[in-house]
Amino acid sequence: MRIKDLDQLKVREDVFDEITLLALYKMVNKGWISAIGGSISTGKEANVFLADRKEERVAIKIYMTRTANFQKMQTYIAGDRRFLNIGKTRRDIVFAWTRKEFSNLKRALEAGLSVPKPLVFDRNILVMEFLGEDEIPYPQLRVAKIVDPAGVYASLIESLRVLWQTAKLVHGDLSEYNILYGGGKAWLIDMGQAVTPDHPHSIIFLRRDLEQLNRFFSPLCDTIVLIDLMRQITGIPHLPENAGTELSEA
Q: Is the dihedral of CA 120, 194, 174, 158 positive or negative?
A: positive
Residue 144 per-residue DSSP state: S
Rounded to 5 degrees, φ, ψ at 44 are -70, -30
* 5 CB-contact burial (10 Å; exposed 0-12 / middle 13-18 / buried 19+): exposed
Does the active-site annotation cover 14?
Answer: no
Does the active-site annotation cover 5?
Answer: no
Q: Enumerate the β-bridge partners of residue 136.
A: 133
Residue 51 per-residue DSSP state: E
Pair type for strands 35-41 and 46-53: antiparallel
User: How many angstroms separate the CA atoms of 62 and 127, rounded?
Assistant: 9
Half-sphere exposure at residue 202, Cβ-oriented, CA atoms within 13 angstroms: 20
Q: Enumerate the β-bridge partners of residue 125.
A: 62, 122
Determine which one of 14, 17, 148, 190 is catalytic: 190
Determine which one of 173, 198, 209, 228 is catalytic: 173
Active site residues: 173, 190
